[in-house]
Structure 1
Protein backbone atom coordinates (compact mmCIF):
# COMPACT_ATOMS: atom_id res chain seq x y z
CA UNK A 1 0.00 0.00 0.00
CA UNK A 2 2.82 2.41 0.79
CA UNK A 3 4.26 2.16 -2.72
CA UNK A 4 0.79 2.72 -4.20
CA UNK A 5 0.40 5.84 -2.06
CA UNK A 6 3.77 7.17 -3.20
CA UNK A 7 2.79 6.69 -6.83
CA UNK A 8 -0.63 8.34 -6.35
CA UNK A 9 0.74 11.24 -4.32
CA UNK A 10 3.08 12.09 -7.17
CA UNK A 11 0.05 12.49 -9.40
CA UNK A 12 -2.23 14.32 -6.96
CA UNK A 13 0.13 16.67 -5.09
CA UNK A 14 1.96 19.67 -6.59
CA UNK A 15 5.36 18.65 -7.93
CA UNK A 16 8.66 20.37 -7.30
CA UNK A 17 12.11 19.48 -8.61
CA UNK A 18 13.75 17.06 -6.21
CA UNK A 19 17.10 18.73 -6.79
CA UNK A 20 16.35 22.44 -6.45
CA UNK A 21 12.64 22.83 -5.64
CA UNK A 22 11.63 24.44 -8.93
CA UNK A 23 7.84 24.03 -9.23
CA UNK A 24 5.85 21.87 -11.65
CA UNK A 25 8.58 19.37 -12.51
CA UNK A 26 9.87 16.25 -10.80
CA UNK A 27 13.39 16.99 -11.98
CA UNK A 28 14.44 20.10 -13.88
CA UNK A 29 16.90 20.06 -16.79
CA UNK A 30 19.70 21.64 -14.75
CA UNK A 31 19.49 19.08 -11.94
CA UNK A 32 19.11 16.26 -14.47
CA UNK A 33 22.32 17.42 -16.13
CA UNK A 34 24.12 17.18 -12.77
CA UNK A 35 23.37 13.44 -12.85
CA UNK A 36 23.67 12.72 -16.54
CA UNK A 37 25.75 15.53 -18.00
CA UNK A 38 29.19 13.93 -17.85
CA UNK A 39 30.61 10.48 -18.46
CA UNK A 40 31.04 8.20 -15.46
CA UNK A 41 34.54 8.13 -14.01
CA UNK A 42 36.55 5.84 -11.79
CA UNK A 43 36.52 6.88 -8.14
CA UNK A 44 38.73 5.93 -5.19
CA UNK A 45 38.04 6.72 -1.54
CA UNK A 46 40.97 7.51 0.72
CA UNK A 47 41.88 5.45 2.58
CA UNK A 48 40.96 2.66 0.17
CA UNK A 49 39.55 -0.32 2.07
CA UNK A 50 41.18 -3.71 1.40
CA UNK A 51 39.35 -5.67 -1.27
CA UNK A 52 37.55 -2.73 -2.88
CA UNK A 53 37.07 -3.45 -6.60
CA UNK A 54 37.34 -0.82 -9.31
CA UNK A 55 34.35 1.54 -8.92
CA UNK A 56 32.84 3.94 -11.45
CA UNK A 57 30.44 6.74 -10.48
CA UNK A 58 28.18 8.98 -12.54
CA UNK A 59 28.32 12.11 -10.38
CA UNK A 60 29.71 13.63 -7.17
CA UNK A 61 27.44 13.32 -4.15
CA UNK A 62 26.66 16.99 -3.56
CA UNK A 63 23.99 19.64 -4.11
CA UNK A 64 21.24 18.49 -6.52
CA UNK A 65 22.59 14.94 -6.83
CA UNK A 66 22.51 14.49 -3.06
CA UNK A 67 18.97 15.90 -2.87
CA UNK A 68 17.70 13.61 -5.64
CA UNK A 69 19.19 10.48 -4.09
CA UNK A 70 17.74 11.32 -0.69
CA UNK A 71 14.32 12.10 -2.17
CA UNK A 72 14.25 8.68 -3.82
CA UNK A 73 15.67 6.74 -0.89
CA UNK A 74 14.13 8.42 2.14
CA UNK A 75 11.07 10.30 0.89
CA UNK A 76 9.70 7.73 -1.53
CA UNK A 77 9.97 9.77 -4.73
CA UNK A 78 9.89 6.55 -6.73
CA UNK A 79 9.62 8.22 -10.13
CA UNK A 80 13.21 9.40 -9.71
CA UNK A 81 14.36 5.79 -10.17
CA UNK A 82 14.19 6.42 -13.92
CA UNK A 83 16.87 9.11 -14.00
CA UNK A 84 18.92 7.44 -11.25
CA UNK A 85 18.80 4.20 -13.23
CA UNK A 86 20.06 6.02 -16.32
CA UNK A 87 22.93 7.45 -14.28
CA UNK A 88 23.79 4.02 -12.88
CA UNK A 89 23.63 2.53 -16.38
CA UNK A 90 26.32 5.03 -17.39
CA UNK A 91 28.53 3.75 -14.59
CA UNK A 92 27.89 0.15 -15.61
CA UNK A 93 28.80 0.93 -19.24
CA UNK A 94 32.07 2.49 -18.04
CA UNK A 95 32.83 -0.65 -16.03
CA UNK A 96 31.95 -2.89 -18.97
CA UNK A 97 34.25 -0.89 -21.22
CA UNK A 98 37.19 -1.68 -18.93
CA UNK A 99 36.51 -5.43 -18.65
CA UNK A 100 38.02 -8.16 -20.79
CA UNK A 101 34.86 -10.20 -21.24
CA UNK A 102 31.98 -9.75 -23.63
CA UNK A 103 29.32 -11.81 -21.85
CA UNK A 104 26.08 -10.60 -20.29
CA UNK A 105 26.22 -8.08 -17.46
CA UNK A 106 25.04 -9.43 -14.11
CA UNK A 107 24.12 -6.52 -11.83
CA UNK A 108 24.28 -7.49 -8.15
CA UNK A 109 22.70 -4.82 -5.93
CA UNK A 110 24.04 -4.22 -2.45
CA UNK A 111 21.16 -5.15 -0.13
CA UNK A 112 19.55 -2.80 2.36
CA UNK A 113 18.89 -3.96 5.89
CA UNK A 114 15.46 -5.56 6.24
CA UNK A 115 14.45 -2.96 8.79
CA UNK A 116 15.42 -0.11 6.44
CA UNK A 117 13.52 -1.68 3.53
CA UNK A 118 10.45 -2.12 5.73
CA UNK A 119 10.65 1.47 7.00
CA UNK A 120 11.04 2.93 3.51
CA UNK A 121 8.53 0.65 1.85
CA UNK A 122 10.97 -0.21 -0.94
CA UNK A 123 14.55 -1.26 -1.65
CA UNK A 124 16.03 1.81 -3.39
CA UNK A 125 19.20 0.17 -4.74
CA UNK A 126 17.35 -2.76 -6.25
CA UNK A 127 14.80 -0.41 -7.83
CA UNK A 128 17.57 1.67 -9.41
CA UNK A 129 19.39 -1.48 -10.57
CA UNK A 130 16.28 -2.83 -12.31
CA UNK A 131 15.85 0.49 -14.11
CA UNK A 132 19.53 0.53 -15.09
CA UNK A 133 19.31 -3.00 -16.52
CA UNK A 134 16.28 -1.97 -18.57
CA UNK A 135 18.19 1.05 -19.89
CA UNK A 136 21.17 -1.12 -20.83
CA UNK A 137 18.95 -3.60 -22.67
CA UNK A 138 17.44 -0.73 -24.66
CA UNK A 139 20.99 0.12 -25.73
CA UNK A 140 21.53 -3.45 -26.95
CA UNK A 141 23.46 -4.85 -23.98
CA UNK A 142 22.43 -8.04 -22.22
CA UNK A 143 21.93 -7.05 -18.58
CA UNK A 144 20.16 -8.78 -15.71
CA UNK A 145 19.69 -8.02 -12.02
CA UNK A 146 20.60 -10.78 -9.57
CA UNK A 147 19.53 -9.98 -6.00
CA UNK A 148 21.73 -12.68 -4.51
CA UNK A 149 23.39 -10.89 -1.58
CA UNK A 150 21.81 -10.76 1.86
CA UNK A 151 22.73 -9.57 5.32
CA UNK A 152 23.65 -12.41 7.65
CA UNK A 153 23.87 -10.26 10.76
CA UNK A 154 22.66 -6.87 11.91
CA UNK A 155 24.91 -3.84 11.51
CA UNK A 156 24.91 -0.53 13.36
CA UNK A 157 23.77 2.72 11.73
CA UNK A 158 26.69 3.88 9.58
CA UNK A 159 26.04 7.61 9.95
CA UNK A 160 28.74 9.25 12.03
CA UNK A 161 31.18 6.34 11.67
CA UNK A 162 34.64 6.85 10.24
CA UNK A 163 36.24 4.65 7.58
CA UNK A 164 37.88 2.25 10.05
CA UNK A 165 34.69 2.00 12.14
CA UNK A 166 32.63 1.28 9.03
CA UNK A 167 34.96 -1.52 7.99
CA UNK A 168 34.67 -3.11 11.43
CA UNK A 169 30.90 -2.63 11.45
CA UNK A 170 30.46 -4.34 8.08
CA UNK A 171 33.09 -7.08 8.30
CA UNK A 172 31.42 -10.40 7.56
CA UNK A 173 27.95 -8.83 7.40
CA UNK A 174 27.02 -10.00 3.88
CA UNK A 175 26.77 -13.38 2.22
CA UNK A 176 25.56 -14.92 -1.02
CA UNK A 177 22.42 -16.99 -0.89
CA UNK A 178 23.04 -20.65 -1.78
CA UNK A 179 21.15 -20.25 -5.05
CA UNK A 180 22.99 -16.97 -5.70
CA UNK A 181 26.36 -18.67 -5.39
CA UNK A 182 25.36 -21.27 -7.94
CA UNK A 183 24.06 -18.62 -10.34
CA UNK A 184 27.21 -16.51 -10.13
CA UNK A 185 29.58 -19.48 -10.46
CA UNK A 186 27.68 -20.56 -13.55
CA UNK A 187 27.77 -17.01 -14.91
CA UNK A 188 31.51 -16.57 -14.31
CA UNK A 189 32.19 -19.92 -15.96
CA UNK A 190 30.27 -18.63 -19.00
CA UNK A 191 32.31 -15.38 -18.96
CA UNK A 192 29.45 -13.22 -17.73
CA UNK A 193 30.55 -9.96 -16.09
CA UNK A 194 29.55 -9.48 -12.46
CA UNK A 195 29.07 -5.84 -11.49
CA UNK A 196 28.19 -4.80 -7.95
CA UNK A 197 25.84 -1.81 -7.90
CA UNK A 198 24.94 0.67 -5.18
CA UNK A 199 23.51 4.15 -5.01
CA UNK A 200 26.42 5.78 -3.19
CA UNK A 201 30.11 5.32 -2.39
CA UNK A 202 31.59 7.16 0.59
CA UNK A 203 34.31 5.14 2.36
CA UNK A 204 33.97 2.09 0.09
CA UNK A 205 33.48 -0.27 3.04
CA UNK A 206 30.10 -1.55 1.86
CA UNK A 207 31.29 -2.41 -1.64
CA UNK A 208 34.47 -4.01 -0.28
CA UNK A 209 32.35 -6.24 1.96
CA UNK A 210 30.04 -7.07 -0.95
CA UNK A 211 33.06 -8.00 -3.11
CA UNK A 212 34.36 -10.23 -0.32
CA UNK A 213 31.00 -11.99 -0.02
CA UNK A 214 30.80 -12.54 -3.79
CA UNK A 215 34.36 -13.85 -4.00
CA UNK A 216 33.91 -16.13 -0.99
CA UNK A 217 30.56 -17.39 -2.20
CA UNK A 218 32.00 -18.16 -5.62
CA UNK A 219 34.95 -20.05 -4.14
CA UNK A 220 37.54 -17.39 -4.99
CA UNK A 221 39.94 -15.67 -2.64
CA UNK A 222 39.67 -11.93 -2.12
CA UNK A 223 42.44 -10.93 -4.51
CA UNK A 224 41.18 -13.06 -7.40
CA UNK A 225 37.65 -11.75 -6.93
CA UNK A 226 38.95 -8.19 -7.19
CA UNK A 227 41.26 -8.73 -10.16
CA UNK A 228 39.23 -11.03 -12.35
CA UNK A 229 35.69 -11.08 -11.04
CA UNK A 230 33.38 -8.33 -9.90
CA UNK A 231 33.73 -4.62 -10.44
CA UNK A 232 31.33 -1.95 -9.21
CA UNK A 233 29.22 0.99 -10.34
CA UNK A 234 27.38 3.60 -8.29
CA UNK A 235 25.17 6.57 -9.01
CA UNK A 236 27.27 8.96 -6.92
CA UNK A 237 30.46 9.10 -4.88
CA UNK A 238 31.83 11.56 -2.36
CA UNK A 239 33.47 14.56 -4.06
CA UNK A 240 36.83 13.70 -2.46
CA UNK A 241 36.82 10.33 -4.28
CA UNK A 242 36.59 12.23 -7.58
CA UNK A 243 39.34 14.66 -6.54
CA UNK A 244 41.69 11.80 -5.62
CA UNK A 245 41.00 10.19 -8.98
CA UNK A 246 42.13 13.36 -10.77
CA UNK A 247 45.48 13.40 -8.98
Structure 2
Protein backbone atom coordinates (compact mmCIF):
# COMPACT_ATOMS: atom_id res chain seq x y z
CA UNK A 1 0.00 0.00 0.00
CA UNK A 2 2.80 2.40 0.89
CA UNK A 3 4.45 1.91 -2.49
CA UNK A 4 1.18 2.57 -4.35
CA UNK A 5 0.64 5.77 -2.36
CA UNK A 6 4.09 7.02 -3.34
CA UNK A 7 3.42 6.27 -6.99
CA UNK A 8 0.16 8.24 -6.92
CA UNK A 9 1.60 11.10 -4.86
CA UNK A 10 4.44 11.51 -7.32
CA UNK A 11 1.93 12.17 -10.08
CA UNK A 12 -0.28 14.72 -8.34
CA UNK A 13 1.83 16.61 -5.79
CA UNK A 14 4.24 19.48 -6.59
CA UNK A 15 7.80 18.27 -7.05
CA UNK A 16 11.21 19.68 -6.28
CA UNK A 17 14.53 18.79 -7.87
CA UNK A 18 15.96 15.70 -6.19
CA UNK A 19 19.46 17.12 -6.45
CA UNK A 20 19.14 20.75 -5.35
CA UNK A 21 15.52 21.30 -4.29
CA UNK A 22 14.65 23.69 -7.11
CA UNK A 23 10.82 23.77 -7.26
CA UNK A 24 8.54 22.38 -9.96
CA UNK A 25 11.07 20.06 -11.56
CA UNK A 26 11.99 16.49 -10.65
CA UNK A 27 15.62 16.90 -11.72
CA UNK A 28 16.90 20.23 -13.01
CA UNK A 29 19.29 20.59 -15.93
CA UNK A 30 22.30 21.31 -13.69
CA UNK A 31 21.71 18.23 -11.53
CA UNK A 32 20.98 16.12 -14.60
CA UNK A 33 24.33 17.22 -16.02
CA UNK A 34 26.05 16.19 -12.77
CA UNK A 35 24.51 12.72 -13.06
CA UNK A 36 24.98 12.18 -16.79
CA UNK A 37 27.76 14.59 -17.76
CA UNK A 38 30.80 12.40 -17.09
CA UNK A 39 31.93 9.42 -19.13
CA UNK A 40 31.32 6.26 -17.05
CA UNK A 41 34.62 4.90 -15.80
CA UNK A 42 36.12 2.20 -13.66
CA UNK A 43 35.97 2.65 -9.89
CA UNK A 44 38.24 0.86 -7.42
CA UNK A 45 38.00 1.43 -3.67
CA UNK A 46 41.01 1.25 -1.39
CA UNK A 47 41.45 -1.18 0.15
CA UNK A 48 39.96 -3.27 -2.62
CA UNK A 49 38.12 -6.30 -1.22
CA UNK A 50 39.03 -9.73 -2.51
CA UNK A 51 36.78 -10.87 -5.31
CA UNK A 52 35.51 -7.42 -6.26
CA UNK A 53 34.28 -7.42 -9.87
CA UNK A 54 35.40 -4.88 -12.43
CA UNK A 55 33.11 -1.98 -11.51
CA UNK A 56 32.12 0.93 -13.74
CA UNK A 57 30.31 3.96 -12.31
CA UNK A 58 28.43 6.74 -14.03
CA UNK A 59 29.24 9.53 -11.57
CA UNK A 60 30.95 10.46 -8.32
CA UNK A 61 28.88 10.17 -5.16
CA UNK A 62 28.87 13.81 -4.10
CA UNK A 63 26.76 16.96 -4.14
CA UNK A 64 23.76 16.71 -6.50
CA UNK A 65 24.35 13.05 -7.36
CA UNK A 66 24.40 12.08 -3.69
CA UNK A 67 21.24 14.09 -3.02
CA UNK A 68 19.46 12.51 -5.99
CA UNK A 69 20.27 8.96 -4.91
CA UNK A 70 19.16 9.68 -1.35
CA UNK A 71 15.94 11.32 -2.54
CA UNK A 72 15.09 8.17 -4.50
CA UNK A 73 16.19 5.70 -1.84
CA UNK A 74 15.18 7.31 1.44
CA UNK A 75 12.44 9.79 0.51
CA UNK A 76 10.72 7.64 -2.10
CA UNK A 77 10.96 10.06 -5.02
CA UNK A 78 10.30 7.18 -7.37
CA UNK A 79 10.23 9.20 -10.56
CA UNK A 80 13.98 9.66 -10.23
CA UNK A 81 14.47 5.98 -11.08
CA UNK A 82 14.21 6.93 -14.76
CA UNK A 83 17.23 9.26 -14.61
CA UNK A 84 19.17 6.96 -12.28
CA UNK A 85 18.43 3.98 -14.51
CA UNK A 86 19.70 5.87 -17.54
CA UNK A 87 22.94 6.61 -15.70
CA UNK A 88 23.28 2.97 -14.65
CA UNK A 89 22.69 1.84 -18.24
CA UNK A 90 25.62 3.99 -19.32
CA UNK A 91 27.86 2.32 -16.74
CA UNK A 92 26.70 -1.12 -17.91
CA UNK A 93 27.52 -0.25 -21.52
CA UNK A 94 30.98 0.99 -20.53
CA UNK A 95 31.78 -2.15 -18.58
CA UNK A 96 30.51 -4.63 -21.16
CA UNK A 97 32.02 -2.97 -24.21
CA UNK A 98 28.63 -2.04 -25.63
CA UNK A 99 28.93 1.74 -25.43
CA UNK A 100 28.16 1.88 -29.14
CA UNK A 101 24.89 0.02 -28.67
CA UNK A 102 26.10 -3.26 -30.17
CA UNK A 103 23.53 -5.97 -29.42
CA UNK A 104 24.43 -8.57 -26.83
CA UNK A 105 21.96 -10.05 -24.34
CA UNK A 106 22.61 -8.98 -20.76
CA UNK A 107 21.15 -10.09 -17.45
CA UNK A 108 21.30 -7.42 -14.75
CA UNK A 109 21.45 -8.91 -11.26
CA UNK A 110 20.78 -6.35 -8.51
CA UNK A 111 22.47 -6.59 -5.12
CA UNK A 112 19.55 -7.30 -2.76
CA UNK A 113 18.57 -4.94 0.03
CA UNK A 114 17.74 -6.23 3.51
CA UNK A 115 14.06 -7.14 3.83
CA UNK A 116 13.59 -4.78 6.75
CA UNK A 117 15.08 -1.91 4.73
CA UNK A 118 12.73 -2.60 1.81
CA UNK A 119 9.79 -2.75 4.21
CA UNK A 120 10.79 0.51 5.90
CA UNK A 121 11.26 2.37 2.59
CA UNK A 122 8.25 0.86 0.87
CA UNK A 123 10.29 -0.04 -2.22
CA UNK A 124 13.51 -1.70 -3.35
CA UNK A 125 15.57 1.16 -4.83
CA UNK A 126 18.29 -0.93 -6.47
CA UNK A 127 15.84 -3.25 -8.20
CA UNK A 128 13.77 -0.29 -9.39
CA UNK A 129 16.85 1.41 -10.87
CA UNK A 130 17.95 -1.86 -12.48
CA UNK A 131 14.56 -2.28 -14.17
CA UNK A 132 14.81 1.26 -15.51
CA UNK A 133 18.35 0.60 -16.75
CA UNK A 134 17.25 -2.57 -18.55
CA UNK A 135 14.54 -0.61 -20.31
CA UNK A 136 17.05 2.04 -21.37
CA UNK A 137 19.40 -0.62 -22.70
CA UNK A 138 16.63 -2.26 -24.71
CA UNK A 139 15.65 1.07 -26.23
CA UNK A 140 19.28 1.43 -27.30
CA UNK A 141 19.29 -1.95 -29.04
CA UNK A 142 20.86 -4.07 -26.27
CA UNK A 143 18.62 -6.94 -25.11
CA UNK A 144 18.59 -6.74 -21.31
CA UNK A 145 16.54 -8.19 -18.49
CA UNK A 146 16.64 -8.05 -14.69
CA UNK A 147 16.90 -11.19 -12.58
CA UNK A 148 16.56 -10.75 -8.81
CA UNK A 149 18.18 -14.11 -8.10
CA UNK A 150 20.28 -13.10 -5.10
CA UNK A 151 18.88 -13.10 -1.58
CA UNK A 152 20.13 -12.66 1.95
CA UNK A 153 20.59 -16.00 3.67
CA UNK A 154 21.06 -14.43 7.11
CA UNK A 155 20.43 -11.04 8.75
CA UNK A 156 23.15 -8.40 8.49
CA UNK A 157 23.78 -5.28 10.54
CA UNK A 158 23.14 -1.77 9.23
CA UNK A 159 26.19 -0.86 7.13
CA UNK A 160 26.18 2.85 8.00
CA UNK A 161 29.01 3.72 10.33
CA UNK A 162 30.98 0.56 9.55
CA UNK A 163 34.48 0.70 8.09
CA UNK A 164 35.70 -1.30 5.10
CA UNK A 165 36.85 -4.34 7.09
CA UNK A 166 33.75 -4.29 9.29
CA UNK A 167 31.51 -4.21 6.22
CA UNK A 168 33.31 -7.18 4.70
CA UNK A 169 32.93 -9.14 7.96
CA UNK A 170 29.28 -8.12 8.24
CA UNK A 171 28.45 -9.36 4.72
CA UNK A 172 30.72 -12.42 4.52
CA UNK A 173 28.59 -15.36 3.43
CA UNK A 174 25.37 -13.34 3.68
CA UNK A 175 24.11 -13.81 0.09
CA UNK A 176 23.10 -16.80 -1.97
CA UNK A 177 21.52 -17.57 -5.33
CA UNK A 178 17.87 -18.59 -5.03
CA UNK A 179 16.88 -22.13 -5.94
CA UNK A 180 16.75 -22.49 -9.71
CA UNK A 181 18.60 -19.24 -10.30
CA UNK A 182 21.71 -21.04 -11.50
CA UNK A 183 19.94 -22.24 -14.64
CA UNK A 184 18.90 -18.75 -15.62
CA UNK A 185 22.30 -17.22 -14.93
CA UNK A 186 24.20 -19.96 -16.73
CA UNK A 187 22.68 -19.03 -20.09
CA UNK A 188 23.18 -15.26 -20.00
CA UNK A 189 25.93 -12.65 -19.71
CA UNK A 190 25.56 -11.41 -16.13
CA UNK A 191 26.27 -7.91 -14.81
CA UNK A 192 25.94 -7.24 -11.08
CA UNK A 193 24.34 -3.85 -10.42
CA UNK A 194 23.97 -1.60 -7.39
CA UNK A 195 23.16 2.03 -6.75
CA UNK A 196 26.41 2.90 -4.99
CA UNK A 197 30.00 1.73 -4.52
CA UNK A 198 31.79 2.78 -1.33
CA UNK A 199 33.96 0.01 0.15
CA UNK A 200 32.96 -2.61 -2.45
CA UNK A 201 31.91 -5.12 0.23
CA UNK A 202 28.39 -5.64 -1.14
CA UNK A 203 29.48 -6.27 -4.73
CA UNK A 204 32.33 -8.55 -3.61
CA UNK A 205 29.88 -10.65 -1.57
CA UNK A 206 27.43 -10.76 -4.49
CA UNK A 207 30.22 -11.98 -6.77
CA UNK A 208 31.19 -14.64 -4.19
CA UNK A 209 27.59 -15.88 -4.15
CA UNK A 210 27.62 -16.23 -7.94
CA UNK A 211 30.93 -18.11 -7.76
CA UNK A 212 29.47 -20.43 -5.11
CA UNK A 213 26.64 -21.22 -7.53
CA UNK A 214 29.18 -22.26 -10.17
CA UNK A 215 29.11 -19.03 -12.20
CA UNK A 216 32.75 -18.12 -12.35
CA UNK A 217 33.14 -15.23 -14.75
CA UNK A 218 31.63 -12.98 -17.39
CA UNK A 219 31.23 -14.86 -20.67
CA UNK A 220 32.20 -11.87 -22.78
CA UNK A 221 35.31 -10.51 -21.08
CA UNK A 222 36.47 -13.37 -18.88
CA UNK A 223 36.05 -11.12 -15.82
CA UNK A 224 33.13 -10.55 -13.50
CA UNK A 225 31.45 -7.24 -14.40
CA UNK A 226 29.50 -4.83 -12.22
CA UNK A 227 27.98 -1.38 -12.68
CA UNK A 228 26.76 1.29 -10.28
CA UNK A 229 25.16 4.69 -10.57
CA UNK A 230 27.79 6.36 -8.39
CA UNK A 231 31.03 5.63 -6.57
CA UNK A 232 32.85 7.49 -3.84
CA UNK A 233 35.22 10.12 -5.28
CA UNK A 234 38.22 8.39 -3.70
CA UNK A 235 37.48 5.25 -5.74
CA UNK A 236 38.03 7.26 -8.91
CA UNK A 237 41.25 8.73 -7.53
CA UNK A 238 42.62 5.27 -6.83
CA UNK A 239 41.57 4.23 -10.32
CA UNK A 240 43.58 7.07 -11.86
CA UNK A 241 46.63 6.14 -9.80
CA UNK A 242 46.41 2.52 -10.96
CA UNK A 243 46.30 3.38 -14.66
Question: Shorter-chain-normalised TM-score: which range?
Answer: over 0.9
Asked whether the equivalents of residues 85 and 131 of structure 2 are also in contact (C-alpha less than 8 Å), the reply is yes
**Structure 1 unaligned regions, length at least 5:** none
**Using the alignment, how far apart are the partners of 1:207 and 1:94 within structure 2?**
17
2:233 pairs with 227, 231, 239, which one?
239
Q: How many residues align?
A: 238
Matches within 5 A, 1:1-247: 1-97=1-97, 103-185=104-186, 187=187, 192-218=188-214, 220=216, 228-247=222-241
For residues 114-155 of structure 1, what are the alpha-carbon distances to aligned partners after superposition, in whole Å with 9 as ceiling and x for unaligned? 111111111110000000000000000011111100000000
- Give the C-alpha shift of residue 103 in structure 1: 3.9
For residues 148-191 of structure 1, what are the alpha-carbon distances to aligned partners after superposition, in whole Å with 9 as ceiling and x for unaligned? 00000000011111100100000000000121112112x1xxxx
Aligned partner of residue 222 in structure 2, secondary structure: helix
Aligned partner of residue 196 in structure 1, secondary structure: strand
The 1:10/1:103 distance shift into structure 2, 3 A limit, reads closer
The 1:27/1:102 distance shift into structure 2, 3 A limit, reads closer
Aligned partner of residue 20 in structure 2, secondary structure: coil
The 1:31/1:92 distance shift into structure 2, 3 A limit, reads same
- Give the C-alpha shift of residue 229 in structure 1: 5.0
Asked whether the equivalents of residues 57 and 235 of structure 1 are also in contact (C-alpha less than 8 Å), the reply is yes
The 1:230/1:14 distance shift into structure 2, 3 A limit, reads same
The 1:139/1:98 distance shift into structure 2, 3 A limit, reads closer
The 1:228/1:19 distance shift into structure 2, 3 A limit, reads same
What TM-score comes out, normalization by structure 2 length?
A: 0.93
Q: Which structure dedicates a bigger proportion of its chain to helix?
A: 1
Asked whether the equivalents of residues 212 and 225 of structure 1 are also in contact (C-alpha less than 8 Å), the reply is no
Asked whether the equivalents of residues 48 and 200 of structure 2 are also in contact (C-alpha less than 8 Å), the reply is yes
**Using the alignment, how far apart are the partners of 1:102 and 1:28 within structure 2?**
32
